[in-house]
Amino acid sequence: MRTLYVRIIVMTTAIMLISSIVGFIVTNIYYDHVLKEQNDAKVVSIANNAVDIFEQSKEEDIGNYLTTLSTLGYQFYLIDENGDGRLFGEPFRKYEMNQVMVDKVLQGGTYHGIKDYPWKLFITGFFDNELVNTVGIPIQVNGKTEALFVRQNTKLQFGEMRIFLAILLVLILVLSFILIILSTMFVVRPIKRLTEATKKIASGNFHLKLNVNRSDEIGRLAQDFTKMSEQLAKTEEKRQEFVSNVSHEIQSPLTSIQGFSKVLREEEISEDMRHHYSDIIYKESQRLSALSKQLLTLSFLDRGEGQEDCLYLMLLNS
């Protein structure tokens, strides 16, 4: 059987995990529907600027030029008319590319692979290092048109930041889990005190006072519990006082009955005295009967018996 302490920790940890998963999915959806198109347009603009600079500078060594640009945090893949490709910068994880898209770029079109990259639930497209997840534009190299595919080098641009975020996330999770344990102990401790106090009340110890100095629901519960124990202590005192009084009330007629019965049995008395003693015994027995009926009525009321039974007993007492 799980304790409240374990339940709170398990539920809070589950909420944290579910929130993290849902947050990642929502962020991924936001990137796919909003940021992906903006990122595609930005990379296209950067690629166009790089091509314009190259073509205007009359630079002949495209390899040296793209290698220099790759150090700024980009990956380049150049495909000529024969379908031969050259990589500049960090390698791609996958190099599959639809030939139709390559031909489109060679004919002067623009390939929007980042914008059209398919959505995946647990993989953010921004970090998926594939050739199809690039933009492609034509470039003139030595008088020939070639297809230049470009994307950000996320490892180079965000390498340290990713490590920083990973460490930050781990620290947040560890510290959150530790704080959950400590806060749960703080919440459960007064409940444990209430449980122990309940056991003491069940054993008959009503003189309890809980030292819970809190103003929240648990603090109010502890205050109400203390008031309840005080009321139970008063009720128990009244009950003992009632039992003492009833014992005294019962003892008095019993003593009279025993005494007069003994007189009637052992001594020679007149007929008038005999009748007088008999009347006393009869009255004392009626008094005992009335007391017993009252006690029985009180017992029915304490047990919460039906109103009809209580009414019947009250009629008997009348």
State pLDDT tens for residues 138-154: 999 888 899 999 998 87
Q: How far apart are CA 135 and CA 77, in angstroms?
A: 10
Which residues, given as ranges, of the chain have pLDDT below 70? 1-2, 4, 121-125, 156-162, 206, 208, 210-214, 216, 266-267, 297-318
Domain with CATH 1.10.287.130 in the chain: 217-317
Distance CA 172, CA 222 (A): 34
Q: Of 170, 192, 188, 190, whose CA–CA distance to 180 is shortest?
A: 188
**Please, where in the chain does CATH 3.30.450 lie?**
4-172
CB 316 within 8 A of CB 291: no
The predicted pLDDT at position 102 comes to: 92
Q: pTM (2 decimals)?
A: 0.56
Give the torsion through C-alpha atoms of 190, 192, 197, 199, to 10 deg. Answer: 170
CA dist 247 and 284 (Å) reads 15
Neighbouring-strand partners of residue 88: 76
CATH architecture label of 217-317: Orthogonal Bundle (1.10)
Instruction: For residue 89, count CB atoms less than 10 angstroms from its CB and return exposed for 0-12, middle for 13-18, buried for 19 or more.
Output: buried
Residue 46, pLDDT score: 92
For residue 12, what is the enclosing H or E element? helix 4-30
Given this model, what pLDDT does residue 1 score?
42
Q: What token pair was written down for 1?
A: 């059987």
Q: What is the pLDDT of residue 110?
A: 94
Give the DSSP H or E segment for 141. Answer: strand 135-141
CATH number of the domain located at residue range(s) 4-172 in this protein = 3.30.450
pLDDT at position 161: 65
Tens digit of each residue's pLDDT (9 = 90 or more) over 187-197: 777 777 777 77
